[in-house]
Amino acid sequence: MDFRLVIIFFIALTTSRADDFSSIYSDDVSNKYFPENFLFGYASAAYQYEGAWDEDGKGPSVWDWDAHNTNWFPVGQNGDIGPDGYHKTDEDVGILKAQGVQAYRFSIAWSRVLPTGLIDNINQKGLDYYKDLIAKLKANNIEPLVTMHHWDIPRVLEEQGGFLNTSLIVPAFVDYATLLFKTYGNDVKYWATFNEPKQTCAGGYEWGGISPQNLHPGFGAYLCSYNLLKAHAKAYRVYDEQFRASQNGFISMVIDTPWIEPATDSALDAEAAERNLQFFYGWWANPIVNGDYPEIMKERVRERSLREGYNRSRLPSFTDEEKQELKGSYDYLTINMYTSNLATYINDVDNAVNFANDISVLLTQPADWEQTAADWFRVYPPGARRVINWIRDRFGDEKGIIVTENGYTDFGNNLQDLDTRGRYHMNYLSNINDAIHVDGVNVTGYMAWSFINDVEWYAGWIVNLGHYYVDFDSPARTRTPKESAAYYRKIATTKCLVDSCVN
Ligand code: NOJ
């Protein structure tokens, strides 16, 4: 055989291997192109990504406080340094560019730009860091999508009650948001005021799991949400009044829920599934779309509160003026979605006073759904299509729906993840594609979580979601692509999940 032919054959074999994803394809994967202007991107968050927790004038956030005062993180695995993104803007923008994504969602650490949380103390170096990041993203044609609060309020604000202190948190957040519009608004088109407020409020102030874990069952989640929603609406109106005309951006809030479907055909389980979705997603979407909490939430919390002996609902109500301010305070809808649950109705009489019992639904996951590393997380791809349809049916899709997070958890350093993480993205995206092409839902973007392994909150880096492995033992925090990175690059650059697509 001609020696040159052998070499050509060898080159063809090795190059095609790297780009050959066919081992995970299956017949039911959509071969339709995603819409031409669909945004494929990555998402991340300041505490999980930046490190540099006390550098260049940054103040501590509630997570920094936890890292230094509790044993809630695995030893040595916190955001003090984390993946060290603060020092790696060039390298990481380079990765995003190489991945071919059109958007990058990241968050600003409130206490990096306002170390005490308040506007009278601006940290210029903190502002400069994000200015530089945004400029580099734009120079590489990557659209920034900026989250203002991803669970990390300045610790000093928390010491005064944080999200439970109406007269502190609402104006402080509005000042902070105004500063961000002023500083970055000419370059940032997509804003999100809060990330996963359900976690901030239920995890932070009701049932735990999210800093600051200042828990007041039955009251904490609701008071937090009342303040957070007011802060969101006011920030939105500031944008309307002072910045929209010149900056033309889009503002929303990043809302999460698992898909929830009835465990059986019974009417009660169907009622339970809908109720749970309303308590998780409608809790936030209904106020920003329609101006108030979902009816079912108001009814149930009030009815249970009276039964418990309180003379009014534990869910604080909005004034008419506040409802007006809230109504329509969004320019696109969002969904952070990872997993699904089955809902079973449970009798709610005489159980303890708390948010979970206000919902009174038993959530389970069938054993035949693949279990991932995080205990709450089993894989159910059809849930992606169904939750998107549910959002469209309840809240409309005229302004577009962006999947602001979706990703897969595994343990440790697994570079061979095409079969797991790669397949996960493919199957979830295939369902999202069906939601677009078969069901006609206006889904406009998808942000994978995340481009590199990071600090998965109190799970440190035991549980990972990145498309790049990070060597947390080396001072260089070296990034190495996993198989999933190659597959996601193919998706982001071709807008097609398989080898060839049709329109
Ligand atoms: C949603 C959160 O926004 C993000 O911070 C977290 O890492 C992912 N869920 C995965 O748990």
Q: Which domains does the chain have, with CATH numbers?
A: 3-494 (3.20.20.80)
Strands (E), 196-304: 250-254, 259-262
- Active-site residue (options: 158, 405, 456, 483): 405
**Would residue 159 show up in a list of annotated catalytic residues for this protein?**
no
Residue 211's φ and ψ, nearest 5 degrees, are -60, 140
**Residue that has been written with the tokens 């305070």 in this structure:** 329
Would you say the CB of residue 211 lies under 6 angstroms from ligand 1? no
| Euclidean distance between CA atoms 317 and 8, whole angstroms | 71
Cα angle, residue 262 at apex, residues 401 and 382 outer, rounded to 5°: 45
How confident is the model at residue 413, as a pLDDT?
A: 86
pLDDT value of position 349: 74
**pLDDT on residue 4:** 53
Residue 104: CB partners within 8 Å, gap ≥ 6? 41, 42, 43, 44, 96, 137, 142, 143, 144, 145
H or E segment and range at residue 190: strand 190-195
**Residue 3: what pLDDT?**
55
Give Cα 395 to chain centroid, integer Å: 19
Indicate whether residue 196 lines ligand 1 (CB < 6 A). yes
Nearest Cα neighbor of 391 from 430, 337, 448, 467 is 337
The reported pLDDT for the residue numbered 11 is 47
Helix (H, G, I), strand (E, B) or coil at 452: strand
Tokens read off for 164? 């439970």
How many other CB atoms are there within 10 angstroms of residue 268's CB atom? 14
If you measure from the C-alpha of residue 63 to the centroid of ligand 1, how many angstroms do you get, rounded to a whole number? Answer: 14
- In this predicted structure, what is the pLDDT of residue 351? 85
pLDDT in tens, the chain (503 residues): 555 555 545 544 444 456 899 999 999 999 999 999 999 999 999 999 999 999 999 999 999 999 999 999 999 999 999 999 999 999 999 999 999 999 999 999 999 999 999 999 999 999 999 999 999 999 999 999 999 999 999 999 999 999 999 999 999 999 999 999 999 999 999 999 999 999 999 999 999 999 999 999 999 999 999 999 999 999 999 999 999 999 999 999 999 999 999 999 999 999 999 999 999 999 999 999 999 999 999 999 999 999 999 999 999 999 999 999 999 999 999 999 999 999 999 988 778 999 999 999 999 999 999 999 999 999 999 999 999 999 999 999 999 999 999 999 999 889 999 999 999 999 999 999 999 999 999 999 999 999 999 999 999 999 999 999 999 999 999 999 999 999 999 999 999 999 999 99
User: How is residue 419 written in tokens?
Assistant: 């079969």
The residues near 217 (Cβ < 8 Å, ≥ 6 apart) are: 206, 207, 352, 353, 354, 355
For residue 5, the model assigns a pLDDT of 52
Task: Tell me the three state secondary structure of residue 481.
Answer: strand
Q: Whose CA is nearest to atom 10 of ligand 1?
A: 456
pTM, full prediction: 0.96
CA 189–ligand 1 middle distance (angstroms): 23
**What pLDDT score was predicted for residue 362?**
97
Residue 196's pLDDT is 98
CA distances from 498 to 14, 26, 501 (A): 19, 9, 7
CA of 229 to the centre of ligand 1 (A): 20
- Residue nearest (by alpha carbon) to ligand 1 atom 2: 196
- Out of 450, 457, 462, give the residue to mutate to test ligand 1, the one with the largest number of ligand atoms within 8 Å of its CB: 457
